[in-house]
Chains A and B, each alone.
Chain A
Amino acid sequence: KAGVTQTPRYLIKTRGQQVTLSCSPISGHRSVSWYQQTPGQGLQFLFEYFSETQRNKGNFPGRFSGRQFSNSRSEMNVSTLELGDSALYLCASSLTASGTQYFGPGTRLLVL
């Protein structure tokens, strides 16, 4: 079974731009969560989707948004990029709403 896939793997943007990251969960998994990983703050929860509904949201500004499609694929969007948004963005999928999370390889975003 294929694992969690994330595209693109690397991205360079400039301040003020917006970016969309994509995540395809493990086949059959209905829950997708997003995390931001930075050297200073570590791993921080962004949001969680299950059956196209956002169930939980972390403490991030409204510039960070996401959605989940009927095939469980998910996208996250960051608008008006800031230098501090440079990070590794990790997506995780789970079979159920409360199950074990399996992570993808991440998208490394660099904001210049």
Chain B
Amino acid sequence: GEDVEQSLFLSVREGDSSVINCTYTDSSSTYLYWYKQEPGAGLQLLTYIFSNMDMKQDQRLTVLLNKKDKHLSLRIADTQTGDSAIYFCAESPDNYGQNFVFGPGTRLSVLP
């Protein structure tokens, strides 16, 4: 079955870049997503990338996709204290449904 893995913790200094990594197993996923969750809140969509793309940039966010290695990364430039949150990687299934498979989430701590 599908499985998505992420490292659980990442700590960076304010102003540095953060890179959050994710590996997935379903090579037929059409889209891969990044969501952010702040304490006590739901999931906020950050960005997504279509499976036939290698890179997508959206302001401070850069998504890189290595389809051969099934590796996805999210780079946050100039990380701010407001970026402290849990970041989830998710893959959409090959049945064009909505039963996304989420990783365990990476807790990003931004130190002043």
Q: Interface on A for B, CB 8 Å cutoff?
A: 4, 6, 31, 33, 35, 42-43, 45, 48, 50, 55-56, 58, 90, 92, 94, 97-98, 100-106
Within 8 Å CB of A31, what residues of B?
Answer: 98
Question: Whole-angstrom distance between the alpha carbons of A56 and B92 in the complex?
Answer: 13
**Chain A interface, DSSP helix/strand/loop, else mixed:** strand
| Residues A42 and B35 in contact, CB atoms below 8 Å apart | no
Most central of B33, B99, B101 by chain A CB within 10 Å: B99
Is the CB of B43 closer than 8 A to any CB of chain A?
yes
Q: In the complex, what distance in Å separates the CA atom of A85 from the CA atom of B95?
A: 28
Given known A-B contacts A42-B104, A43-B88, A103 and B97 have beta carbons under 8 A apart = no
List B residues at the A interface (Cβ < 8 Å): 30-31, 33, 35, 41-45, 48, 88, 92, 95-105
Residues from chain B with a CB closer than 8 A to the CB of A100 are 31, 33, 45, 48
With contact pairs A103-B35, A103-B42, A105-B41 given, residues A98 and B102 touching in the complex (Cβ less than 8 Å)? no
Inter-subunit contact A97/B97 (CB<8 Å): yes
A sample of 15 more A-B contacts (CB under 8 A), given A48-B99, A50-B98, A90-B43, is: A42-B104, A45-B99, A55-B97, A56-B97, A92-B43, A97-B98, A98-B30, A98-B92, A98-B96, A98-B98, A100-B33, A103-B43, A103-B45, A104-B42, A106-B42
Q: Are A42 and B105 in contact (CB under 8 A)?
A: yes
- Knowing A43-B88, A100-B45, say if A56 contacts B104 (CB, 8 Å): no
Contact pick for B96, options A35, A43, A97, A106, CB 8 Å:
A97
Q: Which residues of B contact A92 (CB under 8 A)?
A: 43, 98
A105-B42, A106-B42 are contacts. A33–B35 as well, Cβ < 8 Å?
A: no
- Roughly how many angstroms separate A100 CA and B75 CA in the complex, as a whole number? 21
* C-alpha gap A42/B99 in the complex (Å): 14
Contact, CB under 8 Å: B102 / A94: no
